[in-house]
Chains A and B, each alone.
Chain A
Amino acid sequence: MRKLLNSLFITSPDVYLTLNGENIVVKKEESDIGRVPLHNLESIYAFGYSGASPALMGACAERNISLVFLTKNGRFLAKVIGESRGNVILRKAQYRISDSDSLSLLIAKHFIIGKVYNNKWILERMTRDYPLRIDLSMFKEVSRELSKNLIEIKNATDLELLRGYEGQAAILYNKVFDQMILQQKEDFFFKGRNRRPPMDNVNAMLSFAYTLLANDTAAALEAVGLDAYVGFLHRDRPGRVSLALDLMEELRGVFADRFVISLINKKIVNKNDFFVKENGAVIMIDEARKKFLKAWQDKKQEKIKHPFLGEKISWGLVPYAQAILLARHIRGDLDGYPPFLWK
């Protein structure tokens, strides 16, 4: 398996990124403040309005380094895409599946099975680790419901039905989400998902985590030669990385949600890390965002045994491993797409 390389985060707004030889050079008012060889990088995230030279953009596209521009608050602005690479035949096979509802359903089902299965095990783990701090019977009940839900999903006959079952599973899971927050309960609570803008601390962090995860999965899909914009469950919409959102479903809970919850429960973030704007939108302060990104990097370096490949890889490579498996299925080398099942 490939090695997970480092990510460079540009959080100062008034810098400019340029290319020098094989290095990315960060410039601030004509002086160099940082230089890193490109072969050590997996991705570059620019927060705020830092610019980049066309030469650097080209170099990143060529070397498959994802160069992403986000606003200071982590909302996606743009990313650099080079010549379409990979295999035309693979991509055409992907489009054919996407055009057919029945073929899409077969793959989309597996994304959702992965998601619901993983969410179920998040809850099961809570009942094992903190039986006295949560409403045990409620967790067991929801977990049972999710098991039933899994069977319904398995037997779903069309995409609309599948979306319905997914919605049901989400409602069940969200019902107990708040209970997984064990610390700082007066500052961090989950009453439901809200976004654009997020209206409470937990939603602000979830949105940020999902943006990062979506970028990682999109980059992984492009790396194996798939088109991240053509999905099976999410409908096509200009500028939406539908396939990345599809693939991300199974990782939302185990990767992003658990990450956000652990930040709260380990008291890595606290209420001073957030402020409320006039319109009620909650944003993280710059320092908090740095803490968040550092912890995110650590999480990506953590090792895990991949349930299907049976190989030890870092968490950060999981989207990449799943993208490879998806490509193999689309190419016909695998009979079905094996979702990432976590326990």
Chain B
Amino acid sequence: MLVVITYDVSTIDPGGKKRLRQVSKLCQDYGLRVQNSVFECVVDSTQLRQLKYKLLEIINKETDSLRFYRLGDNYKTKVEHIGNKETFDLEGYLFI
């Protein structure tokens, strides 16, 4: 399934920058960065739980926020892209 993950990590407090970096790195392990703090991850339910668990270890619930949008298996008709930063389809043809 496709899960869109967005986050806001507050960088006002001293550990914020570190948390931001860790969150972004972790999300990148699981999916594609489509905008600055937006990731699209094609994962199964186990991988999603792993990712969630790891993210919860990093963030500070008082100041940061995380949002998960589950778009299911038939996500291809649900996503529309306009403008630059074109990405590719993880389940389509991968030719480089």
Q: Does B55 contact A (CB under 8 A)?
A: no
Query: Which of B25, B32, B96 is close to A37, meaning CB atoms less than 8 Å apart?
Result: B32
Q: Is the CB of B94 within 8 A of A39?
A: no
Query: Which of A3, A9, A15 is close to B94, meaning CB atoms less than 8 Å apart?
Result: A9
Q: Is the CB of A37 within 8 A of B95?
A: no
CB-nearest residue of chain A to B89: A6
Name the interface size band of chain B: 10 to 19
What residues of chain B lie closer than 8 Å to A297, measured between beta carbons? 93
What residues of chain A lie closer than 8 Å to B32, measured between beta carbons? 35-37
Q: Is the CB of A6 within 8 A of B96?
A: no
* CA distance in complex: A7, B92 (Å): 9
Q: Is the CB of A294 within 8 A of B93?
A: yes
Would you list which residues of chain B between 14 and 44 have a CB under 8 Å from chain A?
25, 28-32, 41-44
What residues of chain A lie closer than 8 Å to B42, measured between beta carbons? 40
Name the interface size band of chain A: 20 to 34
Would you list which residues of chain B between 62 and 96 have a CB under 8 Å from chain A?
88, 90-96
Query: Which of A3, A12, A21, A23 is close to B96, meaning CB atoms less than 8 Å apart?
Result: A12
Q: Is the CB of B29 within 8 A of A8?
A: no
What residues of chain A lie closer than 8 Å to B41, measured between beta carbons? 37
* CA distance in complex: A21, B30 (Å): 10
What residues of chain B lie closer than 8 Å to A33, measured between beta carbons? 96
Residues of B within 8 A of A (CB): 25, 28-32, 41-44, 47, 88, 90-96
Residues of A within 8 A of B (CB): 3, 6-12, 15, 20-23, 26, 33-37, 39-40, 290, 293-294, 297
